[in-house]
Structure 1
């Protein structure tokens, strides 16, 4: 069986899928304010750029750009997950972490690769049947990118 080795590239761009243990849970969108707070906090301590982000009920897809000389995306995810778990326990009946222990990452290698993964993020709520149009999913940086003129509000997955 092949052994998976994480990228060690400094200052790279990476696509992530981070998932809850319970794939039928909606805790991420039920507590989106808490998740956003945790991401902001970790980002203030260990900066990174958010290229794209979409939160679904049970998983997150994100593309980050790390600062030059930094390759520690694992610690950032660990901190986000730990802080979210801690605050969720304070607010709800949860007694343990809601997260799967691992996450999946892919190093972005080209402009085409980046574009493909951004489209994947933004189309994911439609793919899963949560909405009929990308513009209707509120938990996505798609809306930021529309305001920046990077996407048309009517974009709906045409690659």
Structure 2
């Protein structure tokens, strides 16, 4: 089944710059709403936090939606490809162990956008964490369980 905009997916690393801030989006396979199950969404959150705790990224903000994840990070000691491979493979393993399945969790690749110096970091983070409100999953961000930002 062809995926819309799949040509825009990052399939190869273009040497993102350490110290630069990126907005990353990754999507579940066939846009299945896997993370409607809070427990499975928390498994992704655990891997985002693990990457931060390992020091390979400085996590600024993230939101896990039912069928995708947005993550605002400062890249540190690994390439973007290494970071995303680690997060996606570890979260897939945890999810499949929990659900006792072997289904593919993530779509291949990911989208990323480097923030420019003139981009407002806090405005970008606010926009990201308000995704559940725009998607009408909640009316207050505090009621949505799968998000965080370093300023909170």
TM-score over 0.5 (shorter chain)? yes
TM-score of the two chains, using structure 1 as the length reference: 0.75
CA contact (8 A) 2:27 2:107 kept: yes
Cross-structure match for 1:51: 60
**Alpha carbons of structure 1 residues 9 and 71: separation in structure 2 relative to 1, 3 Å:** farther
Distance across 2 between alignment mates of 1:108 and 1:53 = 15
CA contact (8 A) 2:51 2:57 kept: no
**Alpha carbons of structure 1 residues 133 and 111: separation in structure 2 relative to 1, 3 Å:** farther
Structure 2 unmatched runs, 5+:
1-6
- Count the aligned residue pairs: 142
Q: Aligned Cα RMSD in Å?
A: 2.6
Structure 1 unmatched runs, 5+:
147-159
TM-score of the two chains, using structure 2 as the length reference: 0.78
Radius of gyration: which is bigger?
1
Distance across 2 between alignment mates of 1:104 and 1:16 = 6
Cross-structure match for 1:94: 101
Greater RCO (Cα-Cα under 8 Å, separation 6 or more)? 2
Cross-structure match for 2:151: 145
